[in-house]
Structure 1
């Protein structure tokens, strides 16, 4: 059994942003050399998530619109009265309740087992941020 730990570091540029990291995760998977196993991806941020979904520009715009409408930034939130890090980001924490902090993807024949239209997205909910990290763990056999 082999285990490889890796990270993707990202800068985000918008308050809410959906970044396709699928190709980068595939490249890291290939580099890890795991032929059969499991990839686990985790955002260790409380206001950024990881998601599997369809890679299509209009759909990604619809997702952004939905997130902004679902829990608006300017709501009357207790967390914003005395924020811990001087960021009015209660909306980002609340949006995070409905999203995954991690995803697990099987690795078969050295490739991530994703559907034809699926990709991996890093979802920023409290940007912009100069540095965000997506941790990748590849576990299996070569």
Structure 2
């Protein structure tokens, strides 16, 4: 059974941002000969996440508001005591982003059926950057026949 890998890059903007990466996954799948199997989508960062949900502007804003309530940037966090640990010079105070990411997930597995993603009508694969701006990467791996 073939296994095909790809890394996609996502340049992100400041703050919490949500990107629909379904088109990139579909393009990757179309570049393979896999007709039936599954595709793994894996976020490679500790302050990012992946979710399958509806890509609707008002819902995405609701999600951002919800995440900010769960882990407010202005709260006090031990991880933000940068002077107490060894960090790169450009290390941000981003404990809130790590906590938000823990509430979400780092990977999704999507069925591939007849060469198409087995997503429902309103489902999209959404990539969350909780600590931008940065250049992020997502690992894709398709397996099947």
1:58 is paired with a residue of what secondary structure? Answer: helix
* Gapped regions of structure 2 (runs ≥ 5): none
TM-score normalised by length of structure 1 = 0.94
Q: Return the alpha-carbon distance in structure 2 between the equivalents of residues 44 and 22 of structure 1.
A: 17
Alignment of 1:5-84 (within 5 A): 5-82=5-82, 84=87
Q: Tell me which residue corresponds to 2:141.
A: 137
Displaced runs of 4+ in structure 1, greater than 3 A?
Answer: none
TM-score normalised by length of structure 2 = 0.93
Q: How many residues align?
A: 140
Q: Return the alpha-carbon distance in structure 2 between the equivalents of residues 105 and 123 of structure 1.
A: 18
1:16 is paired with a residue of what secondary structure? Answer: strand
Give the root-mean-square deviation of aligned CA atoms.
1.1
Alignment of 1:107-118 (within 5 A): 107-118=112-123
Cα deviation, 1:27-85, whole Å, max 9, x if unaligned, reads 11111221010100101100011111011111111111111222111111000002634
Q: Return the alpha-carbon distance in structure 2 between the equivalents of residues 97 and 55 of structure 1.
A: 21
Is 1:126 matched up with 2:131?
yes
* Gapped regions of structure 1 (runs ≥ 5): none
Is 1:102 matched up with 2:107?
yes
Q: Return the alpha-carbon distance in structure 1 between the equivalents of residues 6 and 32 of structure 2.
A: 9
CA drift of 1:116 comes to 0.2
